[in-house]
């Protein structure tokens, strides 16, 4: 069993009958959704899923997991999602799979969030992984130039056909190659303030625990209460 599968299955144990569950996106969340599908079908687990992307929606539908849209629920009991980096103080970068906007919306309406990662994603400080910034197409190239001028080393997220990638929300993604982010909270605030930025991949104070896959087994890291 690979480490992503290991943490996907471990995280599914936190899902109980009757819960509304936010279903993350990516190659790790894939295993969570697969395991929840198995429990729904084999154990009669009763849940309602809220998806964070069209990709996850497709998988959940194939597995027969009952779904509601985020706007059909007032809140989500628990969201389980992957992450691209988790720092020592449990802040994160997400959006490697281009689903950051919907992931952050679902996380925002969730009473509890868990990230599932393999141990390679645990870092001291965030920033080696390029930080995704989702922008509206109108004026997006101006934002790109602005990020260049600020020394943020932007690149456009492209498709395999070398076209600008369009997210599920109909936006573009600019990846910032920052190497290290000394103050994620301050950068998050700065990015929130740019007109035309819809969302960014800095997820601040979002989770209660991380489940980390290691060759010795899954490690459950509880985030200290603030
Ligand atoms: C998608 C995400 C993913 O959760 C993140 O990229 C991790 O993906 P993977 O589990 O495939 O490494 O944020 O937008």
Residue 222, in any domain of the structure: no
pLDDT of 19 reads 98
- Are residues 70 and 147 located together in one domain of the fold? no
What does the H/E/C string look like for 82-125?
Answer: CCCEECCCCCEECCCCCCHHHHHHHHHCECCEEEEEEHHHECCC
Report the C-alpha gap between 127 and 153 in whole angstroms.
12
Residue 72 makes CB contacts below 8 A (sequence gap 6+) with: none
Total of domains in the chain: 2
How does DSSP classify residue 71?
G
107 and 20 co-located in one domain: yes
Residue 42 bears catalytic tag:
no
Check: pTM over 0.95? Answer yes or no: yes
Q: Which residues of 165-180 are buried (b: 16+ CB within 10 A; e: fewer)?
A: eebbeebbbbbbebee
145 C-alpha to center of ligand 1: Å? Answer: 27
**Residue span of the structural domain in which 167 resides:** 131-198
- Ligand 1 is surrounded, with C-beta below 6 A, by 24-29, 81-84, 94-100, 103
Q: What pLDDT, on the 0 to 100 scale, is given for residue 226?
A: 76
Distance 46 CA to ligand 1 centre (A): 26
Mean pLDDT of the chain, nearest integer: 97
pLDDT tens-digit profile of 38-95?
Answer: 999 999 999 999 999 999 999 999 999 999 999 999 999 999 999 999 999 999 999 9
Residue 32: which CATH number? 3.40.50.1360
Cα 179 to ligand 1 centre (Å)? 19
% the chain with pLDDT above 70: 100
Let me know whether 18 and 118 are in one domain. yes
Half-sphere exposure of 94 (CA within 13 A, CB side): 31
**Which tens digits make up the pLDDT trace of 2-15?**
999 999 999 999 99
Contact 143, 137 (CB under 8 A): no
Q: What is the CATH number of the domain that holds 156?
A: 3.30.70.260
Give me 95's structure tokens.
Answer: 């959006």
- Per the residue annotation, which of 5, 10, 103, 199 is the catalytic one? 103
**Does 225 fall in a domain?**
no
Q: How far from the centroid of its chain's Cα atoms is residue 130's Cα? A: 14
| 160 & 103 share domain | no
- Are 15 and 95 members of one domain? yes
Q: How many CB atoms lie within 10 A of CB 104?
A: 21
Region of 95 (left: φ > 0; alpha: ψ -120 to 50; beta: rest) is: left
Query: Looking at the structure, do residues 100 and 136 belong to the same domain, yes or no?
Result: no
Q: Closest Cα to atom 6, ligand 1: which residue?
A: 96
Does the pLDDT of residue 190 top 80, yes or no?
Answer: yes
């Amino acid at each position: 069993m690979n480490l992503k599968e290991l943490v996907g299955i471990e995280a599914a144990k936190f899902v109980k009958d009757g819960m509304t569950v936010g279903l993350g996106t990516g190659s790790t969340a894939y295993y969570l959704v697969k395991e929840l599908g198995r429990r729904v079908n084999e154990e009669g687990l009763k849940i309602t899923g809220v998806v964070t992307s069209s990709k996850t929606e497709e998988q959940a539908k194939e597995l027969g997991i009952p779904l509601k849209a985020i706007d059909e629920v007032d809140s989500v009991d628990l969201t389980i999602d992957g992450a691209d980096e988790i720092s020592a103080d449990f802040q994160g970068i997400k959006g490697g799979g281009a689903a950051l906007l919907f992931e952050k919306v679902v996380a925002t309406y969730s009473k509890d969030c868990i990230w599932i990662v393999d141990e390679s994603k645990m870092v001291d400080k965030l920033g080696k992984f390029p930080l995704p910034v989702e922008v509206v197409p109108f004026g997006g190239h101006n934002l790109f130039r602005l990020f260049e001028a600020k020394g943020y080393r932007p690149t456009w997220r492209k498709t395999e056909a070398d076209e600008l990638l369009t997210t599920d929300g109909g936006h573009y993604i600019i990846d910032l190659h920052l190497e290290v982010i000394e103050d994620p909270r301050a950068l998050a605030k700065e990015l929130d303030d740019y007109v035309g930025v819809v969302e960014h991949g800095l997820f601040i104070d979002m989770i209660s625990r991380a489940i980390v896959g290691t060759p010795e087994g899954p490690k459950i890291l509880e985030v200290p209460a603030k």
